[in-house]
Amino acid sequence: MANFQAREWLKAAYSDLRNIQYILSDPFLTHVVAFHSQQAIEKSFKAIMEDASIAIPKVHKLETLVNKINVELEFNSEILAILDLLYIESRYPGDMGLLPHGKPALQDAEEFYSIAQSIFDQACQLLGTTLEDINTI
| pLDDT at position 123 over 80 | yes
Given this model, what pLDDT does residue 1 score? 82
Q: For residue 104, give the CATH number of its domain.
A: 1.20.120.330
Looking at per-residue confidence, does 89 or 129 come out higher? Answer: 129
Mean pLDDT, range 101-107, rounded to an integer: 82
CB-based contact 135:9 (threshold 8 Å): no
**Number of domains into which the chain is organized:** 1
| pLDDT of residue 110 exceeding 80 | yes
The pLDDT score that the predictor gives to residue 62 is 94
The Cβ-side half-sphere exposure at 38, using a 13 Å CA radius, reads 26
Which structural domain range is residue 69 located in?
A: 4-135
